[in-house]
């Protein structure tokens, strides 16, 4: 099994990363949207930077 490091498991290389308007910022779509305190507001996904990483990394299929 290959060792996964923060550089190889960056959000930008993850299948759950949804880039917004720039390559440096996006949304993590691993979990469902987070509900907001106001009931009439839509839920949101966490904003992440392309070089962030976490334990849920799955590489984008080629």
DSSP string, the chain: -PPP-TTTT-GGGBTTEEEEEETTEEEE-SSPPBP-SSTTS--BPPEEETT---TT--BPP-
The yes-or-no verdict on residue 22 having pLDDT over 70 is: yes
Percent of the chain with pLDDT over 90: 53
Instruction: Supply the pLDDT for residue 14.
Output: 94
Residue 58 backbone dihedrals phi, psi, to 5 degrees:
-135, 125
Q: What is the pTM of this model?
A: 0.76
The yes-or-no verdict on residue 5 having pLDDT over 90 is: no
């Amino acid at each position: 099994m290959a060792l996964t490091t923060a550089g190889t498991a960056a959000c930008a290389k993850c299948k759950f990363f949804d880039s917004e308007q720039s390559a440096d910022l996006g949304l993590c779509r691993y979990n469902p949207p987070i509900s907001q305190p106001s009931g009439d507001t839509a839920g949101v996904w966490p904003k992440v930077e392309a070089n962030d990483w976490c334990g849920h990394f799955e590489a984008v299929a080629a």
